[in-house]
Amino acid sequence: MKIEKEQILSDNKKDIGVHEESFDFLANSLDRKGVDVHKVIKDLSDFQVAIPSWALGAGGTRFGRFSYYGEPANLEQKINDVGILHALTQTAGAISLHIPWDIPEDYKAIKELATANGLVFDAVNSNTFQDQKNAKESYKFGSLSNTSKAVRDQAIAHNNEVIKIGEKLGSKSLTVWLADGSNFPGQHNFQRALQHTQDSLQEIYATLPEDWKLFIEYKPYEPNFYSTVIQDWGTSFMLANACGEKAYTLVDLGHHLPNTNIEQIVSTLMMQGKLGGFHFNDSKYGDDDSTVGSVKPYALFLIFNELVYGMNNNPQNPYPAWMIDASHNIKDPLEDLIQSLEAIQEAYAKALLVDQEQLKLAQEKHDVVLCQEILQQAYRTDVRPLLERARLNVGGALHPIKAYRSLGVRGNLIQARGKHSIATGL
Amino acid sequence: MKIEKEQILSDNKKDIGVHEESFDFLANSLDRKGVDVHKVIKDLSDFQVAIPSWALGAGGTRFGRFSYYGEPANLEQKINDVGILHALTQTAGAISLHIPWDIPEDYKAIKELATANGLVFDAVNSNTFQDQKNAKESYKFGSLSNTSKAVRDQAIAHNNEVIKIGEKLGSKSLTVWLADGSNFPGQHNFQRALQHTQDSLQEIYATLPEDWKLFIEYKPYEPNFYSTVIQDWGTSFMLANACGEKAYTLVDLGHHLPNTNIEQIVSTLMMQGKLGGFHFNDSKYGDDDSTVGSVKPYALFLIFNELVYGMNNNPQNPYPAWMIDASHNIKDPLEDLIQSLEAIQEAYAKALLVDQEQLKLAQEKHDVVLCQEILQQAYRTDVRPLLERARLNVGGALHPIKAYRSLGVRGNLIQARGKHSIATGL
Amino acid sequence: MKIEKEQILSDNKKDIGVHEESFDFLANSLDRKGVDVHKVIKDLSDFQVAIPSWALGAGGTRFGRFSYYGEPANLEQKINDVGILHALTQTAGAISLHIPWDIPEDYKAIKELATANGLVFDAVNSNTFQDQKNAKESYKFGSLSNTSKAVRDQAIAHNNEVIKIGEKLGSKSLTVWLADGSNFPGQHNFQRALQHTQDSLQEIYATLPEDWKLFIEYKPYEPNFYSTVIQDWGTSFMLANACGEKAYTLVDLGHHLPNTNIEQIVSTLMMQGKLGGFHFNDSKYGDDDSTVGSVKPYALFLIFNELVYGMNNNPQNPYPAWMIDASHNIKDPLEDLIQSLEAIQEAYAKALLVDQEQLKLAQEKHDVVLCQEILQQAYRTDVRPLLERARLNVGGALHPIKAYRSLGVRGNLIQARGKHSIATGL
Amino acid sequence: MKIEKEQILSDNKKDIGVHEESFDFLANSLDRKGVDVHKVIKDLSDFQVAIPSWALGAGGTRFGRFSYYGEPANLEQKINDVGILHALTQTAGAISLHIPWDIPEDYKAIKELATANGLVFDAVNSNTFQDQKNAKESYKFGSLSNTSKAVRDQAIAHNNEVIKIGEKLGSKSLTVWLADGSNFPGQHNFQRALQHTQDSLQEIYATLPEDWKLFIEYKPYEPNFYSTVIQDWGTSFMLANACGEKAYTLVDLGHHLPNTNIEQIVSTLMMQGKLGGFHFNDSKYGDDDSTVGSVKPYALFLIFNELVYGMNNNPQNPYPAWMIDASHNIKDPLEDLIQSLEAIQEAYAKALLVDQEQLKLAQEKHDVVLCQEILQQAYRTDVRPLLERARLNVGGALHPIKAYRSLGVRGNLIQARGKHSIATGL
C-alpha cells in the first residue's frame, strides 16, 4: 500500500481553514517577539528521523507479546511502512537496518524501493546479543568482550559484514549496541572485559570506510542485571577516544539510571565533539521504550534545548544521526511512530523558540527566575500550527494520525498482507 | 508594604491589548471544541492555594543557607508577604502556620491583618522534629513513635496545643508531618514504633474539634535515612482509618521513591474518600522542594487530571486542602512562589480541558493511541490567556512576575525591613 | 534420574571431618552466648521452600533466551528436578504449579510421583498475562481489570479452574499475580480498573474452598510501563481486606521501586495479620529475578529478621508460604536454585541468632550503636556449619553444589532427556 | 583525654582467651585453603584510613541538628579525638583537614600533637560551598564554575591557600569537592560552567607542588537539585585528564545515582590509573552519609574486591587515599567512626580472602555458578578474629567499641570539655 500525495492533499482540505487561522495567529505573535518563523519552519522540515526496521512490528516483554495485525513480513514491506510514515509526516525520511534480520536479497531493488518512498539508509545495526541458527560460537556470555578469542572474532567479523552490507545501501555509519555484561558479581573481570571490548572495537574501527562513523551505545543494565561492559557515557566516550576521530558516543534516552540529567550529558558530549547519534523513546522506570514524549515531554524539550545549542555553537560536533528506538507493545506500531515523530518535532520547535540571547544575559546575572521564565515561555507555546505548516509545505498531512485513520491504512495493510503476518526480528 | 488594586490595574494596562487578542483567539478555539470557557475561568478563580509561613524566607540545605534580603522577620510581615502574593495572583488566599515558629501574640490583630489581605488560615502544622529551647524531652529519637511515654506525651500535648491555636485563628485542620524513623537497621522495632504512632495519633484525634480534619503525611526517608515510621500512602491510609472519618492522608509531591506513579495514588485515595490535603512542589532526585512545575510539568498535569476527575466523581472525598511546600534556596521566595502558583494553575487549567467523555469512550475501546491524544491535546494547549483572564477578572496582575518587578516589591521590602532581616523558622 | 540417599551419604564422607570440626567450634561458641543450637538446626530443617514449576528451564529477557541442556520437557520431569533439589538440600519440599503450563493429565500418578520425591503441592498460580491458543478473549489490555466484562469473566473462570486443579493436588492456596496495568497516561481510568479488579477478586474469593488462602501480589511496573493496577502493598492490602479474612498480600522481593524498605513492609503486614506469601529472588535494578542473596544478602537478612520476629510475635498472621521466584538466564537452573536455597537458609539462620531480648533493651534505651552491633554480630557469624548440620541430620548433602557436580546430575539429565529438550512455559 | 597503651592492654585481657581460640581455629582453616594468614594480617595492619576533622561533631540535616555532648571545640581537640580512635583501632592513623574550619594557629604545635597521637595529615579539603564572613564574593551561584571572574578568582585563591596550609602540615594532596551546579533548568549554560570549571582547576593545578596530587570529586546532586557541574565519574575523569598526570578522580560512595555499579567504576578508574582517593560511607537513598557497612556490606566487599585487584594488578594507579566521609546525626561520633573502621577492615579482609587464581579460571570457563561461590566463600567467612589479631599485634583494642565504653571515654570528654561544647564547622 502506498499513500499518494493527492490522498493527503484531499484529506487536508477539511482542516485547512482552522490551521491557517491558528498559524497566522501564532506566526504574528512569534513575529512580534522577534522569532524568524520561516527559519523555524525550515528547520522543522529539514529534520529527518530514521525509523529502525525492527520497530514496525509489535514489540513485547519477557512475559510475552501480543501481535498486531498486518505486520510487515519482509524488508520490502518494512520499507513500505516507513514510506507511509514519511508520506504522512514528512519527517521520517530514513530507515535503519538491523542485521541479520534485514539482509537484502536484491540490493538494487531495495535501494530503488527506498528511493521511491523518499527514504535513505541511515546507520546499520549489528546484532551480537542473540545466537543465529548455525552460528559456530554463542554470545551467551558476551561477544566483543568475551574471554574467548573465537567468540570475539566471530562478533568482529559480523560487524565487518554489517559494514559491507551498509556500504552497498549507502549507509554511512555503524551502530554498535553491546549487550555484553554480567548477571552476577564475580562473573566478569571488569578490566579484562573492558580491554577485550576496546580491542574488538578497534579492530572493527580499522575496517570502517573513510567517510563512515562508528556509534558506540551505552546502557547501565538489561539484558544483563549486574553489570554492563559499556555502562555509561563515560565508558563509551573513553572507548570512542581509544578508537579514533570517526568513533562517537550514541545516546539512547532509555539507557540511564533513575534521575540521570541526560541533557547535561548531551551538552558535554557536543562540547567534546563526540555526540554521534541519538535514539528517541521515553520511559518512566527503566528502558521502557515507550512512545517519545508520552511520559516526560519537558525533559525531551530540555534535551532539545541542548541539541539546538550544540548544533549552533559546536562546530566540532558532527550533525547527529537521529533514530526512534521504541517498542510498540500495545499500539498500532505505525500510529505509535507517528505520535513519536510528532513529539520529537514539538520538542524541537519549542527549543527553537528559546531566546538564547536573553537566556545568556539572565544566566550571567544569575537571574534564575528569568532563566526559568525564558525556557517556560518557549515550552508553554502551542507550536502545533508550526508543525502543521512544516508538513503542509512539503506535502505531508496536517494531522497525521487522523489522516492515517481516515485513509484506512491499517485495514489496507491487513488486506494486503493478511491478519497474522508477523514482522521478522525479535 | 501593600500593593494597591490601582497599582496592578495601571500596570496591567500596557499588556491588556495583547491579552485580549490572545484570549479571544483561544476562547473561540476552545468554544468550537465544546469547552465551557467561562466555567474554566471560574474554576481557576475559585482555586486558592495556601502559602506556608515558613516558605517566605530563604531555604537551605545541610550544607548551608544563603540569605535573601528583606525577609519577613515576624508573623505580621509573613502575612503581608502572602498578601502581596495574593494581590498579584489572586490564587494565594490562605496562609498555613507552623507552630511554634509562628505563634500569634495578639490573635485579634493577626486575624484582622489576614482579613485585610484577603487571607484565611488554612491547616496548622505541628513540629516534633526539632527540640525547642527549654523543652523537657528531646525528639532526637522520635516523637509520637518514641519508646518513651514521656516523649510521646509531650508530642501529643504539643499537637493539642497547635489545634487550640488553630481554633483561635479559624483553621479547620491539623497537618501532622512525622519525621520519626530510624537511621540504622535494628534501631527501631517497626511494629512497636507503628503501634505507638497509631496510639498517639488516636489521642490527638480524640481532641480534634467536630468540624476539623486531621491530615497525616507520609514520606519514605529524610531526615531519617533507613526507615520512616509513616513511609508510604499505605501506612498513612491505615493510620487514618484507625483514627476515624475525620482523619485523612496528605500527599506531598516530593515524598515518594523514584518513579512512583503519584497520580495513581491520588486517584486511589479519592476513590476511598481519604485524600485530605496536598502539598505542591517539584523534584528531580529526592524531596528537593523545587518550584512547582519546574522539573516535571506533565506529571503535574496528570495529577491534576486525577484531581479534577475525583472532584467531579468522588463525592465521598472532601474538597482537598492545597498548599505549596517548597524551599527557596536561591530565588527570591516571593518570585519563586509566583512561579509555583502559575504552574499549579496551568496544570489545573489544562486538566479542565481534558475531554472526559471522549476519554472514557476511548478507554472502553482500548484505543490507547486516542487516549494519549486526548490528554496531549489538552496539555499542548497554551492556556496562559485563561490564567490571565482569571486573574484579570478579580483584580490580579496579568503577568505577576513582571508586575512584582515593575512595582519594585523586593526593593520596598528591603527598605522597610532592612537588608539582613531573617525569617523565623528553620 | 533420581538421587539415592546412599549416593549423598557416600559423597558426604570426604568432607565430614572438616564439617564436624567447624560445627563443634561454632556450636560451642554459640552455646557460650546462650544460643539454643539444636533449636536453630530444627528450625532450619523445618523450613521448606516451594520451587515453581516454571523455574526449571532457562529464563530469558525480551532480547532472547539461551537454552540450557536437558531441560524438563513435561510436568513429570519438572517434579523429578525438584526431587533432585530436595534430595540434595532437604529444604525444597514443595512444588508450585503454573496453570495452564502444567496441567496434570493423570492426577493420581502426578501425586504419587510428588510423594515419592518427598514433595507436596504448594500454591497454584493462574496466568492471565498471556493469551492461550484458542482463547476467546485476549488479555492484551488486561484481565481482571479489563473494561470488557467478557474478558473479566474469562479471567475469573480461569482462576476458578486453577483452584479446582489445585484441589485435586492438595494445594491450599491460589496466587494471583496480575500483570494488568497501562503503558500510557490516559489508557486506564485508575478507579474503574481498580473497581473491576476488586469485583473480580471477590468473585474468585467466593469460590475459594474453606481451608484455602488467596494471595494477591503487587508490582510497580513491568510488563506495563506506566501503571500497574496493584502497584504496591497498600493496594494489595486494601484488596485483601475487601475480599475477606482468607485473602492475603504476597510479597515478591523484586516487585518494589528503587530503595524501598521492604523489611518494614513485611513487618507491617505481619502486624496486621496479612502477610500470606513470599517470593524470594534478588535484584540490583528492577525485577531482575536474580539468584537469592547474590546482590543484597544483608537486606535479605534484615527481612528475615522481621519474618522471625513476626513468626514469634504475631499469632494473628498465618505461617507464610515460601517460594523462590527467580529466572535462570545463564546458570544451570538447578545449580542456581541450590544457590538460592543456600542463601535463604543462611539469612534465616543468621536471623535466628539475633539476640531479641538484648535488642529490645537497646532499642528502648536508644542505644543505636548497640542495636547495630547486635544485628551485625549475628550477621557476621559464619553459619555454614549450621546449614550443613541441618541437611546432614535429614540425609541431605553437606555441600549441595559440589554433590550435584560430583554426581554428574546435569550430564545424566541430558543423557536421559536429550540436549535440546525445552521446558514448557514461557 | 588520651588513652594509654596500658589501659588497652589491660582491657584486652578479659577477652584474650576467646580471641586466641577463635583466631587459631580460623587461621588453621584458612591455612588449609592456602591463605597466607600472616600476609592478610599485615595488610590489615598497614591499612590506614583518614578521619576528616568535620566528622567529630554531630551532623545534621536541613531539618536541624541534635548536638552530642563533649564535642571537640577546636583543632587540638579534634586531633585528640582522632588519636583516641587510632589508639583503639590502630587503623585511623591520619587526619584530613577542612579549610577554613580548621586553620592551625601554631603549625609546629599542631604537628607535634598529631605526631604524639601517631597521626599524619592526609589530603586537605577546600570549601567553596559556603560564604565565609567578610568574604568579598558569594558562592551562592557557584565558585569555580561561576560566570563571574571575580568569584572564580576568589575560589581559586582559596584553593591555593589551602595548598599552602597543607604544605606546612605535610599533606600531599588537595581534595576539591565542588558543590557548583544549578537548581533549575536554564540556570546554567552547561558548557560554559564546565569550561570555567576546567579553566579554574587548571589554574589550581598549576600551583600544585611537584609531589602533590589533586583529587576531583563528583556528585550527581545536592546541594543543587537540577544539575551538578561535575555530575559523574566521566566528567571528573575528563577534567583530571585535562589537568594533568597529578590530577585524579575521587570516588565517594554516596555520590551516585540509584543502583549505580560503583565497583565497576572503581575498576575502570584503576585500569586507567586515575583513582586517586576514596571516601567511605553508606547509604540507602541518597548521599545519606551513614556508617560504613551499615546498609550494604556486600556492595562494600565487592568494591574492595576491585580495590584489592587493582592494587595488585594496576601499577599505573597510585596507592589511593582513604577517608571516611560520614555524618553522625544520632550516634556518638567516635563510636560511629569505630563501627565504620571495623566495617572497612572487614570488607578488606574478606576481599583479601578471594581466591583470585581460581576466580580467573572460573571466569574464563564461564562457570558463573563457581564465580559466585568463590566470592561468597570469602564473604561468608567470619573474619573478626583476623581484625582482632591485626589490632592486637600493634597495641589496639580487641573490641574497640567495648573498650571505648569500658574506658568511659565519652564521659571523660564531657568532663574535660563541658557538655555543650560544639564542634566547629557545619
> Which CATH number fits the domain that encloses residue A76?
3.20.20.150
A contact set with B (CB within 8 A):
22, 25, 29, 258-259, 261, 284-285, 291, 293-299, 330-332, 335-336, 339, 346, 368-369, 372-373, 379-382, 384, 401
Contacting residues of C for D296, CB less than 8 Å apart: 296, 298-299
Nearest chain C Cα distance for residue A61, angstroms? 5
Annotate C130-161 with DSSP letters as a single string: SPPTT-SS--TT-STT-S-HHHHHHHHHHHHH
In the predicted structure, residue C244 carries a pLDDT above the cut 80: yes
CA distance linking residue A66 with residue C135, whole number of Å: 13
CB B236 within 8 A of CB B254: no
In the predicted structure, residue C91 carries a pLDDT above the cut 80: yes
CA distance linking residue A264 with residue A290, whole number of Å: 22
Does a structural domain hold residue C18?
no
Q: Which residues contact B368 (CB under 8 A, 6 or more apart)?
A: A330, A331, C141, C182, C183, C184, C187
Compute chain A's Rg from CA coordinates: 22
What pLDDT score does D74 carry?
Answer: 95
A contact set with C (CB within 8 A):
59-64, 66, 129-131, 138, 140-141, 179, 183-185, 220-223, 225-226, 258, 283-286, 288, 290-291, 294-295, 327, 329-331, 426
Residue with cell 493511541: B369
E strands, C237-364, where?
Answer: 247-252, 275-280, 321-324
CB D121 within 8 A of CB D168: no
What pLDDT score does A422 carry?
Answer: 81
Q: Which of C253, C258, C364 is nearest to C302 (CA)?
A: C253
Range of B196's domain? Answer: 47-348
Contacting residues of D for C403, CB less than 8 Å apart: none
SS (H, E, C) C230-241: CCCHHHHHHHHH
E strands, A160-222, where?
Answer: 173-176, 181-182, 213-217
* Interface contact flag, B369 A339, Cβ < 8 Å: yes
What pLDDT score does A219 carry?
Answer: 98
| Strands D275-280 and D227-228, sheet pairing | unpaired
What pLDDT score does A421 carry?
Answer: 85
CA distance linking residue B184 with residue D336, whole number of Å: 11
* Interface contact flag, C294 A185, Cβ < 8 Å: yes
Does a structural domain hold residue D229?
yes
CA distance linking residue A126 with residue A124, whole number of Å: 7
> What pLDDT tens digit does each residue of chain D (426 aa) get?
789 999 999 999 999 999 999 999 999 999 999 999 999 999 999 999 999 999 999 999 999 999 889 999 999 999 999 999 999 999 999 999 999 989 999 999 999 999 999 999 999 999 999 999 889 999 999 999 999 999 999 999 999 999 999 999 999 999 999 999 999 999 999 999 999 999 999 999 999 999 999 999 999 999 999 999 999 999 999 999 999 999 999 999 999 999 999 999 999 999 999 999 999 999 999 999 999 999 999 999 999 999 999 999 999 999 999 999 999 999 999 999 999 999 999 999 999 999 999 999 999 999 999 999 999 999 999 999 999 999 999 999 999 999 999 999 999 999 999 888 888 765
CA distance linking residue D41 with residue D348, whole number of Å: 11
CA distance linking residue A262 with residue B138, whole number of Å: 43
Partner residue opposite C286 with nearest CB, options A66, A285, A295: A285
- Identify from B98, B141, B184 which residue to disrupt to test chain D contact, counting D C-beta atoms within 10 A and taking the largest count: B184
Does a structural domain hold residue B15?
no
Question: For B239-285, what is each residue's pLDDT tens digit?
Answer: 999 999 999 999 999 999 999 999 999 999 999 999 999 999 999 99
Mean residue pLDDT of chain A comes to: 97
Nearest chain D Cα distance for residue C362, angstroms? 13
Q: How many CB atoms lie within 10 A of CB A364?
A: 12
Contacting residues of B for C147, CB less than 8 Å apart: 363-364, 366
Q: Closest chain D residue to B296 measured between Cα atoms? A: D185
Does a structural domain hold residue D22?
no
CB C159 within 8 A of CB C204: yes
Q: How many domains does chain A have?
A: 1
In the predicted structure, residue B184 carries a pLDDT above the cut 70: yes
Does a structural domain hold residue B111?
yes
C-beta pairs of D25-33 under 8 Å, 24+ apart in sequence: D25/C22, D25/C25, D25/D385, D26/D381, D26/D382, D26/D383, D26/D385, D26/D386, D27/D385, D29/C22, D30/D353, D30/D381, D33/D355
Which DSSP letter does residue A45 get? H
C-alpha cell at A101: 534480520
Q: How many CA atoms lie within 13 A of D53 on its CB side?
A: 29
What pLDDT score does B1 carry?
Answer: 77
In the predicted structure, residue A399 carries a pLDDT above the cut 70: yes
Q: Closest chain C residue to D380 measured between Cα atoms? A: C382
Contacting residues of A for C330, CB less than 8 Å apart: 140-141, 183
First and final C-alpha spacing in chain A? 24
Q: Which residues contact C404 (CB under 8 A, 6 or more apart)?
A: C84, C88, C334, C335, C338, C397, C410
* Cα–Cα separations (whole angstroms), residue C224 to A256, C187, C228, C284, C288: 19, 11, 6, 20, 15
pLDDT tier for residue B147 given thresholds of 50, 70 and 90: very high
Q: Which of D205, D184, D182, D185 is nearest to D193 (CA)?
A: D182
* Interface contact flag, C295 D297, Cβ < 8 Å: no
In the predicted structure, residue C89 carries a pLDDT above the cut 70: yes
Mean residue pLDDT of chain C comes to: 97
CA distance linking residue D366 with residue A187, whole number of Å: 7
C-alpha cell at D121: 595529615
Mean pLDDT of C112-131: 97
ipTM of the complex: 0.97
pLDDT tier for residue B290 given thresholds of 50, 70 and 90: very high
pLDDT tier for residue A220 given thresholds of 50, 70 and 90: very high
- Identify from A232, A241, A304, A317 which residue to disrupt to test chain D contact, counting D C-beta atoms within 10 A and taking the largest count: A232
What pLDDT score does A425 carry?
Answer: 67
Nearest chain D Cα distance for residue C330, angstroms? 8
Does a structural domain hold residue C221?
yes
Q: Which of C295-299, C356-360, C419-423 has the lowest mean pLDDT?
A: C419-423
What is the b/e burial string over B64-77, where b = at least 16 CB atoms within 10 angstroms of the residue's CB? Answer: bbebbebbbbebbb
Q: Which residues pair with C213 in a beta bridge?
A: C173
Distance of CA B337 to the CA centre of its chain: 11
What pLDDT score does B425 carry?
Answer: 66
Compute chain D's Rg from CA coordinates: 22
Q: Which residues contact B201 (CB under 8 A, 6 or more apart)?
A: B144, B176, B214, B216, B239, B242, B243, B247
Does a structural domain hold residue B22?
no
For residue C269, give the H/E element and its range.
helix C262-271
Q: Which residues pair with C52 in a beta bridge?
A: C96
* Interface contact flag, A297 B296, Cβ < 8 Å: no
SS (H, E, C) chain B: CCCCHHHHHHHHHHHHHHHHHHHHHHHHHHHHCCCCHHHHHHHHHHCCCEEEHHHHCCCEECCEECCCCCCCCCHHHHHHHHHHHHHHHCCCCEEECECCCCCCCCHHHHHHHHHHCCCEECCEECCCCCCCCCCCCCCCCCCCCCCCHHHHHHHHHHHHHHHHHHHHHCCCEEEECCCCEECCCCCCCHHHHHHHHHHHHHHHHHCCCCCCEEEEECCCCCCCCCEECCCCHHHHHHHHHHHCCCEEEEEECCCCCCCCCHHHHHHHHHHCCCEEEEEECECCCCCCCECCCCCCHHHHHHHHHHHHHHHHHCCCCCCCEEEECCCCCCCCHHHHHHHHHHHHHHHHHHHHHCCHHHHHHHHHCCCHHHHHHHHHHHHHCCCHHHHHHHHHHCCCCCCHHHHHHHCCHHHHHHHHHCCCCCCCCC
What pLDDT score does C310 carry?
Answer: 98
What is the model's pTM?
A: 0.98
CA distance linking residue B352 with residue B370, whole number of Å: 18
In the predicted structure, residue A247 carries a pLDDT above the cut 90: yes
* Cα–Cα separations (whole angstroms), residue D373 to A278, C183, C339, C400, D376: 40, 39, 8, 12, 5
Does a structural domain hold residue A77?
yes
| Strands B227-228 and B181-182, sheet pairing | antiparallel
Q: Which of A15, A17, A19, A87 is nearest to A382 (CA)?
A: A19
C-alpha cell at A44: 522543522
pLDDT tier for residue B198 given thresholds of 50, 70 and 90: very high
